[in-house]
């Protein structure tokens, strides 16, 4: 694909580790540089003092607009959060669960997801863990596990370690037919695929800015959460801020005394976290670049890598069909040494759950993909 701008890190490295962190485009790097200079000048008193740095004005608001486009939602359904984990916590801590309820999830969930399910268990719910077979959990397992006591179906889409894409439509129908919510950690796909989330049955999701949204490294990242419109005003947020309530004086003098606290409407009341302008500036710009390029190339690159690996006799921990996966995970005899050697030569991938996770983004090239598999094969044979 012809790139409209430079991705310096992805040119320097053979980079197939986007599930760890994406590579920011040049225009985002320039913007970050500019903001950091302004910030330091600002804090050293070299500019006329104001509370905020002018260069960061509107960062969150603009980023929300772009994020809504990236996932196919409305701006009213999305908000900034410090990271994906916080976004998932916002949803999971506000949904009511009680003794007798159950939560259906799978062993393909990221450890953070398992922790959220555990919190529901501590409130009295039963965890129903579905076990994967060769990196896959089929719909019929959900069919057997979900019943009228299911409060939440919790998934990663795709699974973090192998890119497996659940049959979300079928699972959403099952969940909703039984009155359960579908809560999805989409950290590993938002920005990688064209979600059109409002057309899916996903009720709540979240992601971070430093992976597929190309917002920079974790040290300067943030995240987004999404709630389907009809849920925005159903529940109270577990965390509150000055944005959560309207305060109305009811006669008694004095701050807050005798005030009526009314919960605000809309997603703003969930946005109780201070937003780092740098992270949202970076992500906001990168998402524009992403939207300009489209979100279709990643799977094709993964297909090329899969074809080459299968020709060479490797076993995958990921389904082959494009519909059922994004990136991939391949088994090799000595994972640790293979990854160490590849990384040392600037071929980037990582060890995950008994295999090597290989995760291309659209700026990776077919030529890099070919070189990557050829080198991986040589390294495996040399160990
Ligand atoms: C599926 C998944 N969810 C959540 C996270 C954590 O994201 P954050 O650090 O933004 O909370 C990761 C990080 O690797 C992840 O892979």
**Residue in this structure with the two tokens 């994972």, named with its chain if needed:** 335
Q: How far is the CA of 20 from the centre of ligand 1 (A)?
A: 9
Atom of ligand 1 nearest to the CA of 110: 1
Mutate which of 114, 187, 191 for ligand 1 pocket (most atoms within 8 A of beta carbon): 187
Strand order in the sheet with 350-352: 328-330, 355-358, 350-352
Q: How far is the CA of 211 from the centre of ligand 1 (A)?
A: 9
Alpha carbon separation from 198 to 52, 70, 135, 187, 242 (Å, rounded):
34, 11, 27, 17, 29
Pairing mode, strands 150-156 and 126-130: unpaired
Q: Which residues pair with 164 in a beta bridge?
A: 325
Counting ligand 1 atoms within 8 A of each CB, the residue from 91, 105, 107, 110 with the most, and so the one to mutate, is 110
Question: CA 57 from chain center: how many Å?
Answer: 25
- The pLDDT, as a whole number, for residue 259 is 85
d(CA 307, ligand 1 centre) in Å: 28
Residues ≥6 apart with Cβ < 8 Å to 144: none
> What average pLDDT does the segment 363-380 reach?
98
Distance of CA 272 from the midpoint of ligand 1 (Å):
20
Would you say 207 and 86 are in contact if contact means Cβ atoms under 8 Å apart?
Answer: no
pLDDT of residue 182: 98
pLDDT at 125: 98
| DSSP alpha helix (H) spans, the chain | 8-12, 26-43, 59-71, 84-94, 111-122, 139-145, 168-177, 277-293, 297-311, 335-344, 366-382
What count of other Cβ atoms lies within 10 Å of the Cβ of residue 65?
16
Domains of the chain in sequence order: 8-24+294-382 (3.90.1150.10), 35-290 (3.40.640.10)
List, for residues 275-290, the tens digit of each pLDDT value: 899 999 999 999 999 9
Mean pLDDT of the chain: 96
Pocket test for ligand 1, best of 20, 84, 165 (most atoms within 8 A of CB): 84
Q: What pLDDT is attached to residue 308?
A: 98
> Which atom of ligand 1 is least distant from the CA of 210?
10
Distance from the alpha carbon of residue 256 to the mean position of ligand 1, in angstroms: 39
CA distance 193 to 187: 11
Q: How confident is the model at residue 2 (pLDDT cuts 50, 70, 90)?
A: confident
Any idea which of 96-105, 217-226, 237-246 has the lowest mean pLDDT?
A: 237-246
pLDDT at 1 > cutoff 90: no
- The answer to whether residue 185 scores a pLDDT higher than 90 is yes
Neighbour count for residue 259 (Cβ, 10 Å): 16
CA distances from 314 to 184, 333, 335, 342, 381 (A): 31, 10, 13, 17, 12
Q: Tell me the per-residue pLDDT of 293-350, one tens digit each, with 9 for 90 and over.
A: 998 889 999 999 999 999 999 999 999 999 999 999 999 999 999 999 999 999 999 9
Among 382, 332, 77, 358, which Cα is nearest to 200's? 77
pLDDT band of residue 7 (cuts 50, 70, 90) is very high
pLDDT for 275? 84
Q: Identify the residues whose C-beta falls under 6 Å from ligand 1.
A: 83-85, 110, 112, 156, 160, 185, 187-188, 208, 223
The DSSP bridge partners found for residue 17 are 359
Number of helical (H) and strand (E) elements in the chain, helices listed first: 11, 14
Crossing angle for the helix pair 335-344 and 366-382, nearest 10 degrees? 130
Whether 258 and 250 have beta carbons less than 8 Å apart is answered as yes
* Share of residues in the chain with pLDDT > 90 (%): 89
CA separation, residue 216 to residues 27, 79, 157 (Å): 12, 19, 22
Residue ranges of E strands in 102-244: 102-106, 126-130, 150-156, 181-185, 204-208, 223-227
pLDDT at site 251: 75
> From the alpha carbon of 85, which atom of ligand 1 is closest?
11
Which pLDDT does position 58 carry in this prediction? 96
Give every CB contact of residue 328 below 8 A, 6+ residues apart in sequence.
162, 163, 302, 305, 306, 309, 316, 317, 318, 357, 358, 359
Average pLDDT over residues 109-138: 98
pLDDT tens for 30-86 read 999 999 999 999 999 999 998 889 999 999 999 999 999 999 999 999 999 999 999
Which atom of ligand 1 lies at the shortest distance from residue 160's CA?
1
Q: How confident is the model at residue 249 (pLDDT cuts 50, 70, 90)?
A: confident
Residues sharing a CB contact under 8 Å with residue 78, sequence separation 6 or more, in sequence order:
64, 67, 68, 71, 224, 225, 226, 267
Instruction: Indicate if the alpha-carbon torsion angle 141, 142, 147, 151 is positive or negative.
Output: positive
Q: How far is ligand 1, taken at its centre, from the CA of residue 30, in Å?
A: 26
Q: Are 28 and 216 in contact (CB under 8 A)?
A: yes
List the beta bridge partners of residue 303: none
Ligand 1 pocket test: pick from 82, 86, 92, 112 the residue with the most ligand atoms within 8 Å of its Cβ: 112
Confidence of residue 253 (pLDDT cuts 50, 70, 90): confident
Contacts of 112 by beta carbon, 8 Å cutoff, 6+ apart: 84, 85, 88, 185
């Amino acid at each position: 694909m012809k790139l409209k701008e430079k991705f310096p890190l992805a040119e320097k490295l053979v980079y197939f580790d986007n599930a760890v962190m994406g590579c920011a485009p040049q225009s985002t790097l320039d913007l970050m540089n500019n903001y950091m200079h302004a910030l330091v000048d600002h804090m050293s008193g070299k500019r006329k003092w104001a509370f905020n740095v002018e260069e960061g004005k509107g960062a969150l608001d603009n980023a929300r607009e772009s994020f809504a486009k990236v996932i196919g939602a409305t701006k009213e359904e999305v908000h900034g959060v410090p990271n994906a984990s916080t976004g998932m916590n916002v949803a999971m801590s506000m949904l009511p669960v009680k003794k007798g309820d159950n939560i259906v999830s799978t062993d393909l969930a990221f450890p953070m997801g398992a922790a959220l399910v555990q919190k529901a268990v501590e409130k009295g719910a039963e965890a129903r863990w579905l076990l994967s077979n060769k990196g896959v959990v089929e719909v019929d397992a959900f069919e057997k596990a979900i019943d009228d006591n299911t409060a939440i179906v919790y998934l990663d889409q795709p699974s973090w370690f192998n890119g497996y894409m659940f049959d979300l439509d079928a699972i959403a129908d099952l969940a909703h037919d039984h009155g359960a919510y579908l809560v999805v950690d989409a950290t590993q796909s938002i920005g990688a695929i064209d979600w059109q989330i409002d057309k899916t049955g996903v009720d709540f999701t979240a992601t971070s800015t430093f992976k597929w949204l190309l917002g920079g490294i974790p040290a300067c990242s943030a995240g987004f959460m999404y709630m389907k419109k009809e849920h925005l005003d159903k529940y109270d947020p577990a965390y509150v801020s000055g944005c959560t309530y309207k305060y109305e004086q009811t006669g008694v003098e004095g701050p807050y005394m005798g005030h009526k606290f009314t919960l605000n409407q809309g997603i703003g009341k969930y946005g109780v976290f201070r937003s780092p302008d740098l992270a949202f500036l970076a992500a906001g710009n990168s998402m524009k670049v992403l939207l300009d390029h489209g979100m279709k190339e990643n799977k094709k690159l993964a297909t090329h890598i899969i074809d080459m690996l299968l020709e060479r006799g490797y076993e995958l921990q990921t389904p082959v069909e494009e519909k059922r996966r994004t990136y991939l995970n391949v088994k090799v005899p000595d994972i640790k040494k293979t990854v160490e050697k590849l990384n040392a030569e600037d071929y980037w991938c990582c060890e995950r759950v008994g295999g090597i996770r290989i995760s291309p983004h659209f700026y990776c090239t077919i030529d890099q993909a070919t070189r990557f598999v050829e080198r991986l094969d040589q390294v495996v044979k040399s160990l």
